Amino acid sequence: MKNKLYGNLIFELSREGRRGYSLPRNTFGDYEIPQELCRKDEAELPECDELTVVRHYTNLSNNNFGVDTGFYPLGSCTMKYNPKINEEMAALPQFQNLHPRQPAETTKGALALVTLLEKSLCELTGLAHFTFKPYAGAHGELTGLMTIDNYHRSHGDLQRKKVIVPDSAHGTNPASAAVCGLEIVEVKSGSDGQVDLEDLQRICSLCGDTVAAMMMTNPNTLGLFETHIPEIARLIHDCGGLMYYDGANLNPMLGACRPGDMGFDVMHINLHKTFSTPHGGGGPGAGPVGVREGLQEHFPFVSPYHGNFGVMMRAYAYILSLGREHVKEVGLLATLNANYIKESLKDVYELPIDTICCHEFVFDGLKDKSTGVTTMDVAKRLLDYGYHAPTIYFPLLFHESLMIEPTENESKETLDGFIAVMRQIAEEAKTNPDEVKTAPHTTPIGRVDDVLAAKHPVVTYRQMTAEATD
Ligand SMILES: *Cc1c(COP(=O)(O)O)cnc(C)c1O
């Protein structure tokens, strides 16, 4: 059982007079600090011995869950292993200590790296130029859409303001279009989970020369490869619009096929996803935007420097360590792993679109709906077994979406362990549903009220006195 001491705040561990440091004897004599610079009250600082401090923070850090501590099947985010060589490269002092306003002649190595990374990304995507300024995928979407908007304006096409977005799209797609001052037109998905071509034809004939672009993710957010991209690109190009590729799901296509060859004109890459940078908790990221030849002159000004350089270094180290011949295996293994889990669980979890998937797939909850056990319950129960939960309730196309992405670098043993636990939970849902519905039972805190936590967050902590904790 966990020692209760480590659940406390550092202030609660404080005891008057405890010291965690020792200073050398003062040989300089006292220095009189002017009275007006002195604080009126004592600083409220915890007083702890060094060992208590070390244990407190080490134990707190053990409450973190990350790719380095366990399997992390979060779909739509590509939380994959980040090889340690990347960290070593990104920490090289010659790069890490660069200042963005250093004279250009002293930063040639960094600029060379940007150029080499651009060349690699062009080769991998089939596009001609990249800008590295955007700080994340969503920022890349905005940059890409502004590029498209600038392009249309330069042709006097001021009426081109409509952006066609599939109903399965990630929320950032319509959000970026709106921020860019564009109008969103939603295109439906068919029963096969792909863009409904008839609906798109209807939209194209309706919107005609007001179409600015179509945004697509491929494989889409259901993990399905969109097989009609050439027809879709033709429809959009015939209207005079441009094709935007949301590169968040580039992982399974790496080395296998290229957005540029499929008819996309503009794209972003989430370097932190596909090219491995630890990015939990919202950062850091990099969302370089690539374009077809000729469009680069329409890049907008979105930030003064070359983006998050550390993420770019990790991406380049990752690409170099795989090399041309092994980069292909990323997509193949990611796809194999996802299909292996899907096939091993589809008899107990509902698979609404039963087809070969790419790097991720979506269940619609448990197959047996009579138990009342929801996707939320399954996700919470997984925590008891030491797994990070998959993505839940996204995409919005199904009521009980449970989206699993195993990534290319997980071993068969890890996948088998996860499959066994998912089957175990499906069994528990029948034999002991309350255990699942009240999970998690082994984490520092149980199930929080997520609606209340979002609407009425309690962001202060009532500190207990030292006596109360004794
Ligand atoms: C992650 C993701 C984004 C947003 O990217 P960020 O780097 O988090 O800003 C956009 N689209 C899809 C499909 C994604 O999975």
Longest dimension (CA), the chain: 86
Determine the Cα–Cα distance for residues 160 and 213; give it in Å rounded to an integer: 8
Encode pLDDT of 176-232 as tens digits. 999 999 999 999 999 999 999 999 999 999 999 999 999 999 999 999 999 999 999
What are all long-range contacts of 438-443, with beta carbons under 8 Å and residues at least 24 apart? Answer: 439/377, 439/380, 439/381, 439/383, 439/384, 440/380, 440/381, 440/383, 440/384, 441/384, 442/383, 442/384, 443/383, 443/384
- Over residues 317-328, the mean pLDDT reads 94
* 33, 40, 55, 226 from 44: Cα distances, Å: 20, 12, 21, 59
CA nearest ligand 1 atom 14, residue: 248
Please give the structure tokens belonging to residue 188.
């439906």
Q: What is the rounded CA–CA span in Å between residue 286 and residue 176? A: 16
Cα–Cα distances (Å) from 349 to 343, 365, 404, 459, in that order, read 10, 6, 12, 38
How is residue 322 written in tokens?
Answer: 């795989």
Q: How far is the CA of 195 from the centre of ligand 1 (A)?
A: 19
**Tokens at residue 91, please?**
């920490």
Distance 138 CA to ligand 1 centre (A): 6
Residue pair 211/241 in contact (Cβ under 8 Å)? The answer is: yes
In this predicted structure, the answer to whether residue 296 has a pLDDT above a threshold of 70 is yes
Over residues 3-14, the mean pLDDT reads: 73
**Alpha-carbon dihedral 429, 431, 435, 436, rounded to 10 degrees:** -10
Q: What's the average model confidence in pLDDT over 297-307?
A: 93
Q: Can you give the pLDDT at residue 7? A: 61
Atom 6 of ligand 1, nearest CA residue: 137
Q: How far is 85 from 284, CA to CA, in rounded Å?
A: 18
Gap between the Cα atoms of 313 and 248, Å rounded: 19
Instruction: Tell me which of 27-41, 145-159, 196-210, 350-364 is least confident.
Output: 27-41
Mean of the per-residue pLDDT values of the chain = 93
Given ligand 1 and candidates 77, 246, 401, which is best to mutate, with the most ligand atoms within 8 Å of its CB? 246
Range of lowest pLDDT (62-71, 293-302, 393-402, 426-435): 62-71
Half-sphere exposure of 343 (CA within 13 A, CB side): 10
Listed residue (126, 130, 371, 139) closest to 259, CA to CA: 126
Among protein residues, the one with the nearest Cα to ligand 1's atom 5 is 137
CB 402 within 8 A of CB 365: yes
CA-nearest residue for atom 8, ligand 1, is 137
Is residue 85 classed as helix, strand or coil in its secondary structure? Answer: helix
Residue 217 CA: nearest ligand 1 atom is 13
The Cα–Cα gap between 123 and 321 comes to 16
- From the list 231, 257, 270, the residue with the least C-alpha distance to 76 is 270
Distance from residue 77's CA to the centre of ligand 1 (Å) = 7
Ligand 1 pocket, mutate which of 170, 179, 220, 397 (most atoms under 8 A from CB)? 170
Q: Find the 278 Cα to ligand 1 centroid distance in Å.
A: 15
Q: For residue 76, which atom of ligand 1 is closest to its CA?
A: 15
pLDDT at 3: 46
Instruction: Note the pLDDT of residue 98.
Output: 93
Ligand 1 binding residues, C-beta < 6 A:
76-77, 136-138, 170, 172, 217, 221, 246, 248-249, 270, 285, 287
Q: Name which residue sits closest to atom 7 of ligand 1, judged by CA.
A: 137
- In this structure, are strands 162-166 and 289-291 parallel, antiparallel, or unpaired? unpaired
What is the CA(223)–ligand 1 centre distance, in A?
14
Given a cut of 90, whether residue 8 has pLDDT beyond it is no
pLDDT tens for each residue of 409-462: 999 999 999 999 999 999 999 999 999 999 999 998 899 888 998 899 888 877
For a substitution probing ligand 1, which of 80, 133, 270 has the most ligand atoms within 8 Å of its CB?
270
Round to whole Å and give the CA distance between 152 and 206: 19
Q: Ligand 1 mean position to 375 CA, how many Å?
A: 22
Please, which residues have CB within 8 angstroms of residue 323's CB and are 6 or more apart in sequence? none
Cα of 140 to ligand 1 centre, how many Å? 9
Confidence grade of residue 62 (pLDDT, cut at 50, 70, 90): confident
Name the residue with tokens 């929320």: 171
C-alpha 49 – ligand 1 centre gap (Å): 44
Residue 357 clears pLDDT 70, i.e. is over it: yes
Residue 65 pLDDT exceeds 50? yes
Give the pLDDT of residue 346.
98
For residue 178, the CA-to-ligand 1 centroid distance in Å is: 16
Give the span between the Cα atoms of 274 and 252, in whole angstroms.
9
Protein residue closest via CA to atom 1 of ligand 1: 77
For residue 87, what is the enclosing H or E element? helix 84-90
pLDDT, position 469? 45
Query: For residue 220, how far is its CA from the centre of ligand 1 (angstroms)?
Result: 12
CB atoms within 10 A of CB 63: 11
Distance 173 CA to ligand 1 centre (A): 9
